[in-house]
Amino acid sequence: MKRVAIQAADFDVAAELAALEALGGGGVASFIGVVRGEGGLIALELEHYPAMTQVQVDRIVEEALARWPLLGVSVIHRFGRLVPGARIVFVGTASRHRTAALESCAFLIDWMKSEAPFWKKEHFGDGATQWVEARAEDELKAKGWKS
């Protein structure tokens, strides 16, 4: 099972996990990214490259499927204006082996951070805005999976 969704809408975590559990592998790992409301942040605006996002996330998922024995992978990434507490991203993997499920889940979220065409802009209560800067350590983490 392979599911990639790039959407504005929220997602149903229980339903996503249930679909992975139903594959019968016995092991499901997941990661959920949520907007933090630190420093007076009132919203996070996620921009993406529509013509590229789906195909690029597909490539990342294919890479995970090639590296680990997985029964299923789900990746959901939202775009648009998200408020603190809102879910941004879901990564779920299912496997007969817990190491495969856990490692591939970590790989997928690391690669989503540095290889998927999304950009975050922070909006603060005082009207200020700021584009989030890419973190060198995120790029290093993604590179770490390439060796």
Binding site for another protein (CB under 8 A): 33, 46-49, 51-52, 55-56, 77, 88-89, 109-110, 112-121, 131-134, 138-139
Of 48 and 68, nearer to another protein (C-beta) is: 48
Beta bridge partners of 24: none
Decide if 75 contacts 2 (C-beta within 8 A).
no
Query: Which residue's CB is nearer to another protein, number 71 or number 109?
Result: 109
Distance in Å, CB of 118 to another protein, minimum: 3
Q: How many CB atoms lie within 10 A of CB 104?
A: 25
Distance of alpha carbon 27 from alpha carbon 129, whole angstroms: 41
Residue number with CB closer to another protein (18 or 134): 134
The dihedral of CA 77, 78, 84, 87: what is its sign? negative
Using CA atoms, how far apart are residues 9 and 24, in angstroms rounded to an integer? Answer: 28
Beta-strand pair 27-34/80-82: unpaired
Nearest residue (CB) to another protein, 25 versus 92:
92
